[in-house]
Structure 1
């Protein structure tokens, strides 16, 4: 079976989301199996992000020397081998090492699939990045859904994650032949971000910080304001994820109709309005609606900024993407923690109002930045 370029790129993005979300339903099993308290589990989970942060800055240099295809396939098959180990680890140290290894593989895999997505846009001469990130979100839904359904049906966690790993292996095998093999034999392994690339990285940092904060704090905000039970408190993130997925799947069509600058102006402003709504303790449905606005507003920010990285000329694309991506990904790791500190000193409502202010900064500078990228 030989996939077309567009189908293979979409499948590669599904695999990335499928992988990271399949791990989430396994966390309670691993915690109980090892006997970790919340603090110990939190420290172990940091290893996943640490692994990705370790490799993302140098992934662009690796792509330049080996090509996207080899890095994509190698990292993909490494994920297949690592994932099943998560169900059988027996100590906190083993869990941390395994998660670090998974983070390394995911960092390399994400770099390869995003660079290939830029190549696909160029090869087909179409704006496609939002849709690719939309398929990543679809993969997140499918991964969590697959694991939840299998484990809910009584399948042993180790067998369930093995089934997921097999599906990933098939997807990587099908998509790898169409991943670009472009490479550059010269140039550094890593380049310090500068100019428009640095600005894009900072804007991505804010967007990722906002996304990560909704994931980590939306349920606590709802339960704290309105004393909702766990089931309804989770509706905030459901609303956010649903509108973000829909927004990304429709994003390329919207970009063709309204243009990058308009999307990067009004998208962050809609997100800011959503954050303000979440901070108003009027009714829980208004807060859930606010999270839906945040998802819709942020949906296409990072894809459009990544696409701009592919058009800039001050740095090679492979080095520029990993430089900007590394700064952006740091927002996922440090942002929610910073929100927690702010909430401790003030309140979660105040922390979300700060996120509203930060997203307006994106609206102010992102349109100007993509104009400079070419």
Structure 2
């Protein structure tokens, strides 16, 4: 029934959705992986780097591989890597073996991330209208659904291993329903397989780095910040990220309409300013309601900045698209990994609020670089 109404746009949305679904499934598995291996928080932190390293290794390869084999084949291959490795994450008890499997899983995640964005850029160009925010919005929806389904099954007493397999079967069904409508081609190979970002691509990458750094900071530190710095009850610490994630999802699902109505430039400028106001509330506020408004503004403000930057990759002339997408994606992913570490370092030297001030200040870089982009590529 699904197949009857399938097209390349819907297929792309499904790929983003199930990528968010499988990523959220791993997020729920993490505490079980810690118990299974008997490691402490410090070792877990280093272990989680295996996933990031795998992703960063794979991302530069996605461009040339998609050019040679097409988006469809690369996305199929990367999903197979994730689907084969994911079940082991729920029951492996040896820390070294878990690190290896996480590295493999990270390769699948990183390759999928690049390949689906290459697919999204081509589909958006073919449609002749803004679609990128909606695609990224489906990733957020997948994350919420994945976390909800896993948490719900565990709450019902279903063991983590069968819960993981149920999610993977759902992912497999959705992927089989859509993969034939993924693009069998990509842009031709131009330039080297990997290149350091330069020109406009470097600007796009820096903006994505900052925004992903903000996202990583909120993901890993929002609960600690509310509990330790703002003295909010432990049980309510997770509300900050929840509100942030909901705002980001709403922002992305409505983003295509907003971008088509007001233009990409104004969306990025106003979104960045909204996020700055949100940080002001988070840093200076004390009442939980004020703090949550701040997190909502940060999530809503940042929601469409990254999708707009990926849209602009198709407009720039500094680097071939097949090289530019992995370059920008890699910089952004480094931001996700670096953000929590930077915040922890600054908090150790000074305080957690001081670290949040530094992260907020980096958004001023986004404002300045967006004006530069407008001149370079006639950003609408």
Task: Settle same-fold status: TM greater than 0.5.
Answer: yes
2:340 equivalent in structure 1: 336
1:108 corresponds, among 111, 114, 124, to: 111
Greater CA deviation, 131-140 or 34-43? 34-43
1:127 equivalent in structure 2: 130
- 1:308-327 equivalences in 2 (<5 Å): 308-327=312-331
Runs of 4+ in structure 1 deviating by more than 6 angstroms, as ranges, are none
Distance in structure 2 (CA, Å) of the matches to 1:371 and 1:117: 25
Distance in structure 2 (CA, Å) of the matches to 1:215 and 1:238: 9
Q: Secondary structure of 2:254's match?
A: helix
Say yes or no: does 1:73 pair with 2:76.
yes
**CA displacement, residues 196-225 of structure 1 (integer Å, 9 cap, x when unaligned):** 001110111000001100011111111013
Note the C-alpha offset of 1:371.
4.6
User: How many pairs align?
Assistant: 374
Say yes or no: does 1:299 pair with 2:297.
no
- 1:116-155 equivalences in 2 (<5 Å): 116-155=119-158
Say yes or no: does 1:62 pair with 2:58.
no
Q: Which runs of 5+ in 2 are unaligned?
A: none
Cα pair 1:84 1:162 within 8 Å, conserved: yes
Cα pair 2:190 2:320 within 8 Å, conserved: no
- 1:6-25 equivalences in 2 (<5 Å): 6-25=9-28
2:365 corresponds, among 334, 352, 361, to: 361
2:192 corresponds, among 182, 188, 193, to: 188
Q: Secondary structure of 1:67's match?
A: helix
1:352 equivalent in structure 2: 356
Q: Secondary structure of 1:73's match?
A: helix
1:39 equivalent in structure 2: 42
Greater CA deviation, 332-341 or 223-232? 223-232
1:217 equivalent in structure 2: 221
Greater CA deviation, 223-232 or 250-259? 223-232
Distance in structure 2 (CA, Å) of the matches to 1:367 and 1:302: 16
Q: Secondary structure of 2:268's match?
A: helix
Q: Which runs of 5+ in 1 are unaligned?
A: none
Say yes or no: does 1:266 pair with 2:270.
yes
Say yes or no: does 1:241 pair with 2:245.
yes
Once superposed, what is the RMSD of the aligned Cα atoms?
Answer: 1.4
1:250 corresponds, among 248, 251, 254, to: 254
Distance in structure 2 (CA, Å) of the matches to 1:367 and 1:260: 12
Cα pair 1:218 1:237 within 8 Å, conserved: yes
Cα pair 1:40 1:92 within 8 Å, conserved: no
